[in-house]
Amino acid sequence: MSLPAEILESYHQRSATLAEDNPAWLAGLRHRAMARFTERGFPSPRAEEWKYTNVAAIERKRFPLAAAPGTVDPAWVKDYLLPDCWHLVLIDGHFHSDLSHPALAGDVVFCDMGAALRRHADLLTQGFGQAVDEEHGFIDFNTALFHGGALICLKAGTHLAQPIQILHIQTQEAIAPTRHLIVLEAGSEATVIESFTGRAGGLTAHVTEAVLGRDARLRHFKIQEEHDHAFHFGGLYVRQADGAHCRQVHFALGALLARSEIHHRLARGGEAVLEGIHWADGRRHLDSHTRLVHAEPEGVSRETYKAIAEGRGRSVFQGRIVVEAGAQKTDAVMNNRNLLLSDDAEIDSKPQLEIYADDVKCAHGVTVGQLDENALFYLETRGIDPEAARQLLLYGFVNECIEAVDVEPLRAYLHRRLDSRFNAIELENLP
């Protein structure tokens, strides 16, 4: 344990305070999680699953917990809020009601974690802790200390009328531990967008759990574009019942060091489609750790992760597919395509297949390469200068992922963000 005693003590105090306000089931979870965290701390690179991502820099920062939300200019926040969505805004991990949509109740429950603890304990206990399939310091830290968050719960057969966007904003060099729970009962459908942004280099320590009932469908988007000095841990753990479908799309564009865990457990006939892109420029370190567990027969998974590493950036992709004994007729494909664009950049890609059934189709492929010389030449023969041609190919590489986003306001938002990053070439939105 390398955290200094006084910092650890402050975490303990906060954990105890939170536990006092909580129902007994949660208080117990918090105590146990804090005890484990005290013993083990954040994960060390000695652990196999963390060998490419060293979080010692986070410990050295000795971040306090964000005791209160920082002030933000609502006009600034509006740039990040997508139209035609229901919003929930968390500033430094604290719920901001003025910028959020009023809570929904009835067949659709959508509210902040505080309200959920007060009014929807039954729904919380239905899913809390059920989807997390991992045990390490960040998750324990989150369980012990989360404060803000969201509860989304759809009754059987309900279709959410518009997407939900949860916007996380960092304004302080402090820790924002947030926790969401998504419970989709049988046959219900929802789209959830989690956006992470900020103007300060703090630590996001986030966990989302999603529990999908039979034939439920979740579209989930994660947009991580935090401050260049920020640290990010974000775990998404999805547990799917028979026939449930989840599409998860992950844009890792920001922070100094970010680790995402995206884990799905599929049941009979379930489907998971994972897409992601890392853009590791500057000194950015972006790590995605995905795990797809096919626990029962006839599941389908499709995973496509892409990465750009340039400057002194580093992209880490660890993708694991587990086919458990009895998960016959599993059909799983995983691809990882990387562009390595400078001598100082680094790509680590580690696809892993663990197959315990004998009648399955599993495939994976990894490529690491440079920009296509033919394409560069093609663009140059049309008068485009070599640097602009290079930028245009990079733009295309990222834009392919954006074009696949089937939520119009989010796609438009991502296009704007992408365009603003390519100021080297003239770009404007064409009709």
Interaction residues for other proteins, span 341-400 (CB under 8 A): 372-375, 377-386, 388-389, 392-393, 395-400
In the complex with other proteins, which residue's Cβ is closer, 312 or 422? 422
For residue 283, the number of C-alpha atoms closer than 13 Å in the C-beta half-sphere is 6
In the complex with other proteins, which residue's Cβ is closer, 25 or 377? 377
Q: How far is the CB of 392 from other proteins (least distance, A)?
A: 6
Q: Is 45 in the site for other proteins (CB under 8 A)?
A: no
Left, alpha or beta for 200 (phi > 0: left; psi -120 to 50: alpha)? beta
Q: How far is the CB of 306 from other proteins (least distance, A)?
A: 10
Task: Quote the CA–CA distance of 56 and 73 in Å, as a whole number.
Answer: 33
Distance of CA 354 to the CA centre of its chain: 24
In the complex with other proteins, which residue's Cβ is closer, 48 or 428? 428
Q: Is 431 in the site for other proteins (CB under 8 A)?
A: yes
Number of amino acids touching other proteins (CB under 8 A):
31
Indicate the pairing of strand 94-96 with strand 86-91: antiparallel
Q: How far is the CB of 431 from other proteins (least distance, A)?
A: 7
Which position has the token pair 């009979």? 268
Q: Name the token pair of 224.
A: 């991580």
Binding characters for other proteins, 227-266, by CB under 8 A (x = yes): ----------------------------------------
If we measure between CA atoms, which residue out of 140, 2, 16, 9 comes closest to residue 64? Answer: 9
Helix 386-403 to helix 373-380 angle (10° resolution) is: 120
Binding characters for other proteins, 259-298, by CB under 8 A (x = yes): ----------------------------------------
Spatial contact of 180 and 204, defined as CB atoms under 8 Å apart: no
Q: How far is the CB of 180 from other proteins (least distance, A)?
A: 31
In the complex with other proteins, which residue's Cβ is closer, 2 or 429? 429
Q: Is 424 in the site for other proteins (CB under 8 A)?
A: no
Spatial contact of 172 and 66, defined as CB atoms under 8 Å apart: yes
Q: How far is the CB of 251 from other proteins (least distance, A)?
A: 14
In the complex with other proteins, which residue's Cβ is closer, 2 or 381? 381
Q: Name the token pair of 60.
A: 């050295």
Q: How far is the CB of 279 from other proteins (least distance, A)?
A: 13
DSSP letters along 334-346, please?
Answer: EEEEEEE-STT-E
Q: Where are the beta strands (DSSP E) in 253-324?
A: 257-266, 271-280, 285-294, 300-309, 314-323
Q: How far is the CB of 273 from other proteins (least distance, A)?
A: 19
Q: How far is the CB of 198 from other proteins (least distance, A)?
A: 28
DSSP letters along 366-416, please?
Answer: EEEE---HHHHHHHHTTT--HHHHHHHHHHHHHHHHHHT---HHHHHHHHH
In the complex with other proteins, which residue's Cβ is closer, 81 or 427? 427
Among 29, 35, 156, 427, binds other proteins (CB under 8 A): 427
In the complex with other proteins, which residue's Cβ is closer, 35 or 384? 384
List of residues contacting other proteins (CB under 8 A): 372-375, 377-386, 388-389, 392-393, 395-400, 403, 425-428, 430-431
